[in-house]
Amino acid sequence: MSLQGAAILDRMLDPVAGCFTPEVARRLVDLQPDPATQARIAQLAAKTNEGELSPEERAEYEDYS
């Protein structure tokens, strides 16, 4: 996501964030991807470290960040 896109998202979500209790905020921070998604992220990370990502995989990997 671009910096501009992130700023827009921040502005849109700011009112929602004010509705969270501390417990809800902690649960959101602790969210983890499902095992299949985590495995795919790990696979893409390994390929990144080896310099073996295709352009499509790089775009997919960037979507996770």
- Please calculate the CA angle 61-64-65 and round it to the nearest 5 degrees: 100
pLDDT of residue 25: 85
Instruction: Report domain extents, the chain.
Output: 1-31, 33-65
The runs of H, that is alpha helices, within the chain are 3-17, 22-29, 35-49, 55-64
48-58, pLDDT tens digit by residue?
A: 999 999 999 99
CA distance 44 to 37: 11
CA atoms within 13 A on the CB side of 19: 4
pLDDT digits over 31-50, tens only? Answer: 999 999 999 999 999 999 99
Average pLDDT over residues 12-22: 86
62/2: higher pLDDT: 62
| 54 secondary structure, DSSP code | -
